[in-house]
Structure 1
Amino acid sequence: MRKRKWFHGLTAAVLLTSVALTGCGSSDGSAAGGSGSGGEGGGKDGFGSIAFYSPETPDMTKELGLAFEKANAGSSVNVQYAGTNVLVNRMIAEKDNPMADVWYGGGGFLPFESAKDKGIITSYIPESIKDWPEVQDGIKIRDKDWKWIGTEVFVLGFIYNTDLVKPEDLPKTWDDLLDPKWKGQIQMPNPAASGTATLFVLSQLMEKGEAPGWEYFEKLVDQTSAMPDSGSAPGKAVAKGEALIGIGFDFMAYEMKAKGERVDFIVPEKTPIIVNPVSLVENGPNPEGGKALIDYLLSQEGQQTLANWYHIPISKEVESKTPLTLENVLPHAQELDVDWVVENYDRVRNEWRQKFQ
């Protein structure tokens, strides 16, 4: 496989369910962080209605929206929740009449890189981070043209049931999932719908080469009991004992563990560790509101909300509830060829459909 312009793996990178958030803000306080956020930036009439497309945890995005409303009286955030690829397809279909203002999250930066030439996201430079370099400490934290900005760090790995899996049996690598003892005991998201799963497929094709990579997935699919569309569903199945191992991101496991579920997380020896971005939608109906919401996500208050949901925040000033840190996951990071992703993202998803659906 051609390998060029390699970046570190840590890069500051169906039916649609609508979760309507009613305006609840009456505070005149301002949100820390951007040029547009806060009571002063919004003016006494606020920012109006902001359409917020996101595949991330619905309760978390709802909390972010309500907190923004509280900090910006006269604003309302309408969260549109679905799988990453479902949302991307919707934004493409809406391109002549965009309905979204902000797109946040997608299993990391890969869908955002793929979307850059599709005319659905546009550049925005928040005042509070205008001095951010493209790469910091060896990590790409934003798009070179500011079409996406990293908000947090995701680690792809194994969610497992602590009651049903012995510590000595835990998988340590992605190849370990092919062990016969896991047959019928694994769930992974559907790459046709989930950005989490698309990241997994692309990373393995890059690591192994395409022919060996597809052979790997033919074997892995035979090991799985289900491939739900939602990136969070495999972890939930593990918590219920419907599977022993689920492929997902770190925060999914730690959120459930905090609620008393008998689950935990394993970081594979080599795995995608990737920045999850936010973007301003091109020609969205409320660009000023969209910019203000992005500012809020990058503010200390917004970053603290992400940290409280067990995400690894991009801000070093915010402490997260997750046991993982940038320092202790960095040695596990797989390098990802961004150019190859952009050129092959759609093709790989289509090949997945042809092979496995």
Structure 2
Amino acid sequence: MKALKTLLAATLLLAGTAACGGTGAASTGDGGAKTVTVYTADGLADGYKTRFDAFTQQTGIKVQTVEAGSGEVVSRLQKEKSNPQADVVVTLPPFIQKASQDGLLQKYDVPGSDHVQGVKGDDYVAVVDNYLCFIANQKAGTPKTFDDLLDPKFKGKLQYSTPGQAGDGTAVLLLLQHLLGKQGALDYLKKLETNNVGPSASTGKLQPKVSKGELLVANGDVQMNAASIANDKSAFSIFFPAAADGKRTTVALPYVMGLGAGAPNVDGGKQLMAYLLSVDAQKTVSENAFGLPARDDVKPADANFLAVQKSTQGVEVWQPDWSAVLSELDADVAAYTKAVG
């Protein structure tokens, strides 16, 4: 499988929730063996509701969720290492690799994982495929290139989630490193800081600000932003800024799940993970949540699936080496923080 591959179309008017926001909210459940607790990066709330209801009907096991930013999910696991609370963990790379490295996950060969060609390891596997993107308020038009984002008209009207804290924000830094080199990425982001509102640990919280016009441009991801457009009638469009050579590139940024180390309900967690990666559940990923199935043997044909494919037409998808990314992440984030002051 090639590291770079070309997908299908340009702007998107679709539906969902944020992949990297931080709500810290938990739903309620009965506890014990009849409840599974999921710590998750937000973005899949609509899809979760439908799938979790179906899972409960089939098994009698309720599901409660705790939503947070991608990095915040792992930080919470680390704080609770001596008293684990999570049965299942869902977050973005490289944070899922961080959780694995720190012993916060346990090995589980999820049925169907042999059909996942994307991100997976001994203790984690992709469950929903997704891609980095940017969003623009309708009043801003659609910026064509990364250099367009340096325009003074975006001063105080542009914001991106913070690398090292949010999965989507980390992906922005990685994409610019891929396109410009590490120093080139830092030089660009230092220039962009003139327009940037400031840090944000939550990508999801940027969506309503762009829709209302408080911001004109922000980063996001296709699944989250497509769902927001369709479900919340958000007034923004999705775009992929081009580099100086005119090519548009994005980062593959799937939701990845793992079984929590010391999971209080390990059997229930395994059942839920097997269900989420089952053919029946994977067939509904696009219809319910505007994501793409992680399994290569599931080929939906619903309108949402086709629209997501169309939105990325002509955009190259870069598949990072996430283990290499993780090994350099602390140094890269430190260099980024120093560059933007």
Task: Report the TM-score, using the length of structure 1 for normalisation.
Answer: 0.77
Are the aligned partners of 1:273 and 1:333 in contact in 2 as well (CA < 8 Å)?
A: yes
**Contact 2:40/2:65, CA 8 A, preserved across alignment:** yes
Pick aligned residue for 1:71 from 48, 58, 66? 58
The reply to whether residue 20 of structure 1 matches residue 27 of structure 2 is yes
Displacement after TM superposition at 1:223 (Å): 1.2
Q: Within 5 Å, which residues of 2 pair with 1:133-144?
A: 135=117, 141-143=118-120
Deviation at 1:327, TM superposition (A): 10
CA distance in structure 2 between the aligned counterparts of 1:192 and 1:339, rounded to whole angstroms: 15
Q: 1:59 and 1:21, CA in 2 relative to 1: closer, same or farther beyond 3 A?
A: farther
Q: Is the 8 A contact 1:51 1:77 kept in 2?
A: yes
Q: What displacement does 1:131 show?
A: 3.5
Matched, 1:267 2:246: no
Deviations 1:43-81 (A, max 9, x none): xxx9522110001236333444333222221x1212111
Distance apart, 1:93 and its partner CA: 2.1
TM-score scaled to structure 2, two decimals?
0.80
Question: How much has 1:289 moved relative to structure 2?
Answer: 1.0
* Residue identity in the other structure for 1:115: A
Residue 146 of structure 1, CA deviation:
3.0
Secondary structure, counterpart of 1:318 in structure 2: coil
Q: Name the SS for the 1:125 alignment partner.
A: coil
Unaligned runs of 5+ in 2: 7-20, 242-247
2:9 maps to: none
> 1:305: Cα distance to partner?
4.5
* Pair 1:291-2:277 in alignment: no
**1:158 partner amino acid:** F
Candidates 82, 96, 105, aligned match of 1:121? 105
2:284 is the counterpart of 1:312: no
1:113 aligned counterpart, secondary structure: helix
| CA shift digits 1:199-231 (9 cap, x unpaired) | 211332343222222121112222122433212
Could you tell me which residue of structure 1 aligns to residue 43 of structure 2?
57
Given residue 324 of structure 2, which amino acid in structure 1 is its aligned partner? W
**Aligned residue in 1 for 2:74:** 88
Judge conservation of contact 1:112–1:148 (CA < 8 Å) in 2. Answer: yes
Asked if the contact 2:44/2:224 (under 8 Å) is kept, the reply is no
Higher relative contact order (CA 8 A, sep 6+): 2
Cα offset, 1:347, TM superposition: 3.0
1:219 and 2:188 correspond:
no
Separation of aligned partners in 2, 1:9 and 1:103: 28
Equivalent residue of 1:19, what SS? coil
Change in 2 beyond 3 A, CA 1:209/1:317: closer
Query: Measured at CA, do residues 59 and 182 of structure 1 come closer, stay the same or move farther in structure 2, by a change above 3 Å?
Result: same
In 1, the alpha carbon distance for the partners of 2:97 and 2:313 equals 23
Tell me if 1:240 matches 2:212: yes
Alpha-carbon separation, structure 1, partners of 2:96 and 2:108:
14
Correspondence for 1:188:
160
Kindly indicate whether residue 183 of structure 2 is the aligned counterpart of residue 199 of structure 1. no
Q: 1:249 offset after TM fit, Å?
A: 0.4
Q: 1:326 to 1:59 in 2, by over 3 A?
A: same
Q: Secondary structure at the match of 1:104?
A: strand
Q: CA–CA distance in 1 between the matches of 2:319 and 2:25? A: 36
Asked if the contact 2:106–2:261 (Cα under 8 Å) also holds between the matched residues in 1, the reply is yes
Work out whether residues 161 and 239 of structure 1, in 8 Å CA contact, stay in contact via their aligned partners in 2: yes
Q: Which residue of 1 aligns with 2:281?
A: 302
Q: Equivalent of 1:165, from 134, 140, 144? A: 140
- In percent, how many aligned pairs have the same letter? 24
Question: What is the number of equivalent residue pairs in this alignment?
Answer: 312
Please state whether the residue corresponding to 1:223 is helix, strand or coil. Answer: coil
The one-letter code of the counterpart of 1:124 is: Y
User: Are 1:304 and 1:319, in contact at CA under 8 Å, matched by a contact in 2?
Assistant: no
* Cα offset, 1:126, TM superposition: 2.1
1:243 Cα shift?
1.1
Alignment partners' CA distance in 1, 2:310 and 2:4: 13
Counterpart residue number, 2:244: none
Partners of 1:123 and 1:229 lie apart in 2 by 29
Equivalent pair of 1:187/1:245 in contact (CA under 8 Å) = yes
